[in-house]
Amino acid sequence: MNSLTLHAPAKINLSLRILGKRDDGFHELDTLMVKLPGLADEIQFDASPEFSFACDDPSVPSDEHNLVVKAVRQFQEATGLPASYRILLRKTIPHGAGLGGGSSDAASTLLGLNRLYARPLTEEKIQEIASSLGSDVPFFLLPGAARCTGRGEKITPAPAPVPFRILLLKPAFGVPTPDAYRRWSQSQEIPGIRYAPQDLAGVQLTNDLERPVFEKHRFLAELKQWLLTRNEIAAALLCGSGSTIFAALSDGADAKQITRAAQCELDPGLWSWSGLTS
């Protein structure tokens, strides 16, 4: 095969519970994640004399720091193959957003190269490489929803909750994931902000990272509360470590109108996306 294009979807955590800090510095998790097939980066592989990488978003590193390049290096090391493709990454998923964009790109890169070279790596080896690249990466190797434990890398496919319509809102700033976890054990709730689980069609929406993230970035707590005061919103929650907040929309809710109101009343620079969970 000379070329291949893959779509790397975003994710949201419907629930994220932190069970404690581990000796290796990571946190023990129990999280339920679903993919957003309609919000995806595009990764194009074209045969080339040697490997090269480019990204259409200049704010994303296009050197060895990019998770796509890290995935390529691991593939080359594990297989001894050159990965001689020009890889072009077209970003749609914002980064520093808690939507798993970089992790999804890395997973698609591994799957893409393994396909292009007629599967030199076993599923187990791909899993192993994926977890070494990041806690969220193994989740993106499989389709559908999953419950993820350990540091997030232990995947149990979960029955997909009924798809529902969501609105994502994100300010221009991002949240560095290590910072959110580091603050977790010392963090306090802000009075007046709703942290309690919200029932959505039998799923208890909750995110333990809201406490540390809201404390540092009050605007995100304000954005969640603002969404929860609206009738058209069934629930609202921080995505992963942020900085995106997702809102589950009630039937008939007008996502564009809610976005315009949020931009007008809270922050004209809010990024938004609306679509279905898988």
Total binding residues for ligand C5P by CB under 6 A?
Answer: 11
CB under 6 A: which stretch of 131-139, 189-197, 253-261, 265-273 binds ligand C5P? 131-139
Residues 135-164 that bind ligand C5P (CB under 6 A): 135-136, 151-152
Q: Enter the DSSP assignment of 87.
A: E
Q: Which is nearer to ligand C5P, 82 or 178 (CB)?
A: 178
Q: How far apart are CA 210 and CA 206, in angstroms?
A: 9
How buried is residue 180: exposed, middle or buried, by Cβ count under 10 Å (0-12/13-18/19+)? buried
Residues 230-249 that bind ligand C5P (CB under 6 A): none
Q: Is 177 in the site for ligand C5P (CB under 6 A)?
A: yes
Q: How far apart are CA 105 and CA 268, in angstroms?
A: 29
Q: Which is nearer to ligand C5P, 146 or 248 (CB)?
A: 146
Shortest Å, Cβ 27 to ligand C5P: 4
- 138 near 127, Cβ under 8 Å? yes
Shortest Å, Cβ 22 to ligand C5P: 8
Shortest Å, Cβ 29 to ligand C5P: 5
Give all strands (DSSP E) within the chain, no chain letters: 3-21, 27-47, 52-55, 85-90, 146-150, 154-157, 165-170, 198-200, 203-207, 233-238, 245-249, 271-276
The residues near 186 (Cβ < 8 Å, ≥ 6 apart) are 212
Shortest Å, Cβ 242 to ligand C5P: 12
Neighbouring C-beta atoms of residue 173, cutoff 10 Å? 12
Q: Is 225 in the site for ligand C5P (CB under 6 A)?
A: no
Residues 8-47 that bind ligand C5P (CB under 6 A): 26-27, 29
Q: Which is nearer to ligand C5P, 133 or 236 (CB)?
A: 133
- Residues with catalytic function: 11, 136
Q: Where on the chain is the footprint of ligand C5P (CB under 6 A)?
A: 26-27, 29, 134-136, 151-152, 177-178, 181
